[in-house]
Amino acid sequence: MNSASALTARQQEVLNMLADFQRRNGYPPTQKEVAQLMGAASPNAATDMLRKLEKKGVISVSRGVARGITLNGIAKEDEAVSLLRAMVERESDARERAISFLHKMESEQCK
């Protein structure tokens, strides 16, 4: 079931937190930051929630990338602008995030 309407109230709340964080900062949170946003004592709770959201198709998580959470409803242009901003500001993982984004765009074009 890949539908945002199938989200539980808590899942929708966390999805909203992710979107708000990205809107405010111009980049997605790390899993540790997700745990803090959720008020969870352990990053494992965030990891579990992110897996559930990914399974429902509302986010994508690039493994091995610190800020590898992508909100699937966010416009690609917004994400590209956020990545450019991160690169200009020399964020430590901006290059890896940009590469992940480009690979994702290439794979979507090949479908």
Q: pLDDT, tens digit, for every residue of 23-58?
A: 888 889 999 999 999 999 888 999 999 999 999 989
In 3-state terms the chain splits into helix, strand, coil percentages (rounded to 5) of: 65, 5, 30
Give the whole-angstrom CA distance, residue 100 versus residue 62: 7
Is 50 exceeded by the pLDDT of residue 14?
Answer: yes
What are 55's two structure tokens?
Answer: 């399974």
At 49-85, the pLDDT tens digits run 999 999 998 999 988 888 999 888 765 666 777 788 8
Fold of 9-71: Arc Repressor Mutant, subunit A (1.10.10)
Instruction: Provide the whole-model pTM.
Output: 0.65
CA angle 99, 73, 8 (to 5 degrees): 120
Parse the chain into domains and list their residue ranges.
9-71, 74-109
| 1-5, 73-77, 88-92, range with greatest mean pLDDT | 88-92
What are 64's two structure tokens?
Answer: 């091995």
